[in-house]
Amino acid sequence: MKAQHEFFAADQVAWTPDAPGITQRVLSEGPEDNLTRIARWAPGTTTDSVIRHEYFEEVYLLEGSLTDLTLQQTFTAGQYAARHPGMPHGPYSTEEGCTMLEVRYPAG
């Protein structure tokens, strides 16, 4: 189970490194892939492989755009994805950068 929080200013949570070109603000975290975060991709960031994970994931693009290189499709602010465990996605690229809200849930 994630930690309980009443409303707080998310911008008071520090940005921490996640992967090359990607930083994150972890808003709430628990065991077993239970996470809520804001992820920020710097302009020019590209990933190099298809992603698969063992958790359910929801992503909402807050700002910017993100291109799925496999699908050859660009997604923009206001678009949403829901991915079941094992669903392949990516690799990704962003020319202008993007910011997303990501929520992860355990598979079981």
The pTM (predicted TM-score) of the whole model is 0.92
Average pLDDT over residues 37-43: 98
* Helix (H), strand (E), coil (C) string for 41-108: ECCCEECCCCECCCEEEEEEEEEEEEEECCCCEEEECCCEEEECCCCCECCEEECCCEEEEEEEEECC
* In the predicted structure, residue 108 carries a pLDDT above the cut 80: no
Candidates 2.60.120.10, 2.60.40.10, 3.90.400.10, 3.20.20.60; CATH matching 13-106: 2.60.120.10
Which band of pLDDT confidence, cut at 50, 70 and 90, is reported for residue 3?
confident
Which band of pLDDT confidence, cut at 50, 70 and 90, is reported for residue 12?
very high
pLDDT (tens digit, 9 = 90+) per residue, 45-67? 999 999 999 999 999 999 999 99
Which band of pLDDT confidence, cut at 50, 70 and 90, is reported for residue 37?
very high
Domain extent listing, the chain: 13-106
State the sign of the Cα–Cα–Cα–Cα dihedral 50, 103, 82, 69: negative
Residues in CB range of 86: below 8 A, 6 or more apart: 52, 53, 54
pLDDT (tens digit, 9 = 90+) per residue, 77-99? 999 999 999 999 999 999 999 99
